[in-house]
Amino acid sequence: MAEAENSMKKIKITKVTLNVGVGKNEEMLKKGLKLLQKISSCKPVETKTNKRIPGWGLRPGLSIGCKVTVRQDCEKLLKRLLAAKENTLKNSSFDDQGNFSFGVPEYIDIQGLDYDPELKIMGLEVAVTLERPGFRVKKRRLKPASIGINHRISKQEAIAFVQKLGVEVQ
């Protein structure tokens, strides 16, 4: 007789964040915004600097990239993005909290996107956040609490979850 799986231990994808860093180049920033709009069909936002770093020519409020966070249908998007990486991830892509990230060097590898001469060749970074039911206690407004150590997602559990999606981890 098989044991019933605890429904509170099921891991789910909370969000997929796509990021394009362009530096101070405003033309590349416009291309990055257009690329993220094509991939996710959500409206991307510009990321701005907070610190002044004179050596790099950065000042507060300068736009240096763009990002978009996808929460609806993020599993479909993730499968398309992982197919661009040939469904393989490195072990070092996973952090100790169970989240993982990877880069896509060329957007034309993503299923459903064709080469756009206006965009040329661009890459992007993908960050995936995993959660279990009950993680809301750390974000709630009244009486926020920390997640118990037994309920946190470990690196090995995240790797097992991704392998169930058909991804090979090296």
- Percent of the chain residues topping a pLDDT of 70: 98
Q: 12-62, pLDDT tens digit by residue?
A: 999 999 999 998 889 999 999 999 999 998 999 999 999 998 998 889 999
Does residue 139 fall inside a structural domain?
Answer: yes
The residue with tokens 């490195």 is: 90
Does residue 59 fall inside a structural domain?
Answer: yes
Does residue 91 fall inside a structural domain?
Answer: yes
The pLDDT assigned to 5 comes to: 84
- Has residue 154 got a pLDDT over 90? yes
Does residue 145 fall inside a structural domain?
Answer: yes
pLDDT confidence of 3, banded at 50, 70, 90?
Answer: low
pTM of the model: 0.89
The pLDDT assigned to 63 comes to: 92
Does residue 6 fall inside a structural domain?
Answer: no
Sign of CA dihedral 165, 102, 155, 71: negative
pLDDT confidence of 102, banded at 50, 70, 90?
Answer: very high
Domain count, the chain: 1
Does residue 160 fall inside a structural domain?
Answer: yes
Domain range enclosing 69: 11-169
CB 76 within 8 A of CB 31: no
Distance CA 95, CA 76 (A): 22
Does residue 4 fall inside a structural domain?
Answer: no
Q: 48-86, pLDDT tens digit by residue?
A: 999 998 998 889 999 999 999 999 999 999 999 999 999
Does residue 60 fall inside a structural domain?
Answer: yes
pLDDT confidence of 99, banded at 50, 70, 90?
Answer: very high
CATH at residue 139: 3.30.1440.10
CB 48 within 8 A of CB 98: no
Q: 3-state secondary structure string, the chain?
A: CCCCCCHHHCCEEEEEEEEEECCCCHHHHHHHHHHHHHHHCCCCEEEECCCCEHHHCECCCCEEEEEEEECCCHHHHHHHHHHHCCCEECHHHECCCCCEEEEECCHHHCCCCCCCCCCCCCCEEEEEEEECCCHHHHCCCCCCCCCCCCCCCCHHHHHHHHHHCCCEEC
- Has residue 121 got a pLDDT over 80? yes
